Homo-oligomer: A and B are copies of this chain.
Amino acid sequence: MKEFELINRLTRSLPGNSALVTGPGDDCAVLDLGVSDRLFLFKTDAVVQGVHFSGSDPAEQVGHKALARCLSDVAAMAGTPIAALITLALPSNFDPAYLDKVYSGMDQLARRYDVAIAGGETTTNPERLLISVSVLGCVTRGRQVLRAGAKAGDALFVTGELGGSLAGKHLEFEPRLNEARWLAQNFPIHSMIDLSDGLAGDLPHMLTSSGVGAEVMATAIPISSTARRAAKASGSAKTPLLAALTDGEDFELLFSVPSREAVRLLDAWKQQFPSTRLSCIGKIAATKGIIIRDKHGVRPLTVHGYEHFAKPT
- Which listed residue, B23, B83, B111, B130, touches A29 by the CB 8 Å rule? B83
Given A309-B124, A312-B124, A116 and B16 contact (CB-CB distance below 8 Å)? yes
Given A33-B33, A96-B9, A308-B122, A44 and B115 contact (CB-CB distance below 8 Å)? no
Shortest Cβ gap from A41 to chain B (Å):
10
| A57 at interface, CB cutoff 8 A | no
| A281 at interface, CB cutoff 8 A | no
Q: Mark A1-42, 1 if CB is under 8 A from B, else 0.
A: 101001101110111110110011110110101110010101
The chain B residue with its CB closest to the CB of A24 is B119
Q: Mark A63-84, 1 if CB is under 8 A from B, else 0.
A: 0000000000000000000110
B10–A100 contact, CB under 8 A? yes
Hey, which chain B residues are within 8 Å of A19, CB to CB? 82-83, 116
The chain B residue with its CB closest to the CB of A28 is B119
Which A45-67 residues have C-beta < 8 A from chain B? 45-46, 48, 50-52
| A87 at interface, CB cutoff 8 A | yes
Hey, which chain B residues are within 8 Å of A82, CB to CB? 17, 19, 31, 33
Shortest Cβ gap from A48 to chain B (Å):
6
Which residues from chain A sit less than 8 Å from chain B, CB to CB?
1, 3, 6-7, 9-11, 13-17, 19-20, 23-26, 28-29, 31, 33-35, 38, 40, 42-46, 48, 50-52, 82-83, 85-90, 96, 99-100, 103, 107, 110-111, 114-128, 130, 132, 134, 136, 138, 308-310, 312
A132–B87 contact, CB under 8 A? yes
Could you write out 9 A-B pairs with CB less than 8 Å apart?
A: A1-B96, A15-B115, A19-B82, A29-B118, A33-B35, A33-B40, A44-B119, A45-B121, A124-B310
A44–B83 contact, CB under 8 A? no
Q: How far is the CA of A308 from the CA of B126 in the complex (A)?
A: 12
- Which listed residue, B45, B132, B138, touches A46 by the CB 8 Å rule? B132
9 tightest CB-CB pairs across the interface, nearest first? A29-B118, A134-B134, A20-B116, A14-B117, A24-B119, A44-B85, A132-B132, A29-B119, A127-B127
Given A132-B44, A136-B42, A120 and B24 contact (CB-CB distance below 8 Å)? yes
A3–B122 contact, CB under 8 A? yes
A23–B116 contact, CB under 8 A? yes
Shortest Cβ gap from A98 to chain B (Å):
11
Q: How far is the CA of A16 from the CA of B178 in the complex (A)?
A: 20
The chain B residue with its CB closest to the CB of A102 is B10
Shortest Cβ gap from A122 to chain B (Å):
6
